[in-house]
Amino acid sequence: MDILVLAAHPDDEVLGMGGTIKKLVKQQNKIHLCVVSEGASAQYDDKKMIKIRKEACLKSGKILGISTYTFLNFQDMKLDSIPQLEINIELEKIIKKLKPKVVYTTPSNDLNKDHQKVFESTLVVSRAHGNSVKEVLSYEIPAIIKFAFTPTVYEDIHKEFPTKIKAFKQYKTEIMKFPHPRSIEAIETLSKFRGMESGLIRAEGFQLIKKIQS
């Protein structure tokens, strides 16, 4: 099955669902990753960081088993200043080309505007008429949040968790010290917490946005 993972920035995919991506690949699914912004220009003065983040994404994706990549290269942290239609058009092209049955997208619960805009565009481009998408879920990104992320779906990733950490470590510039949400310790703690909620050793949490069954 073809599955599309949408990320606002390089590293959203591994932070949000690295274990699940690896698990889906093991189950013979084909994972396509689309990164909407270049993820660097707002945080770093050095323009080389755009290339570094992209290379880290490719290295991380190789570990996880991602099949194809699309980098839209919209400006980092500026998605809320871009007409929504522009983002929608690009995502619709990808869905038309790849025909994914399932789409995973960014959460709407944190303060990052880029995450919110990608989530909103996903709702538009996965609408019921004229595309292949039958299921949409949002993944959880460790971040400063405006309201709690409440999972409705839990994925057991205790076997895949070491691979998730190995993949995240490819993003050397993004690894922070605890208690930052993007520290290795925080990622480990969140996986245990979601596991505790669901009766698993380690888990990733998702919100089911829609599911169409025929």
Q: What is the pLDDT of residues 13-59, one digit of tens each?
A: 999 999 999 999 999 999 999 999 987 776 766 678 899 999 999 99
The total domain count for the chain is 1
pLDDT category, 198, cuts 50, 70, 90? Answer: very high
State the pTM of this model: 0.96
What's the pLDDT score for residue 64?
98
Q: Indicate whether 102 pLDDT > 80.
A: yes
Give the strand pairing for 135-139 and 203-211.
antiparallel
Q: What is the pLDDT of residues 159-183, one digit of tens each?
A: 999 999 999 999 999 999 999 999 9
What's the pLDDT score for residue 29?
98
Q: What is the pLDDT of residues 119-168, one digit of tens each?
A: 999 999 999 877 899 999 999 999 888 899 999 999 999 999 999 999 99
Q: Indicate whether 76 pLDDT > 90.
A: no
Domain that holds residue 195: 2-211
- In the block, tokens 């490719």 appear at 58
CATH number where 80 lies: 3.40.50.10320
Nearest to 124 by CA among 77, 72, 86, 158: 86
Tell me the DSSP string of 49-108. Answer: HHHHHHHHHHHHHHHHT--EEEEEEEPTT-GGGS-HHHHHHHHHHHHHHH--SEEEE--S
Q: Which residues contact residue 178 at a Cβ distance below 8 angstroms, ignoring those fewer than 6 apart?
A: 184, 185, 186
What's the pLDDT score for residue 13?
98
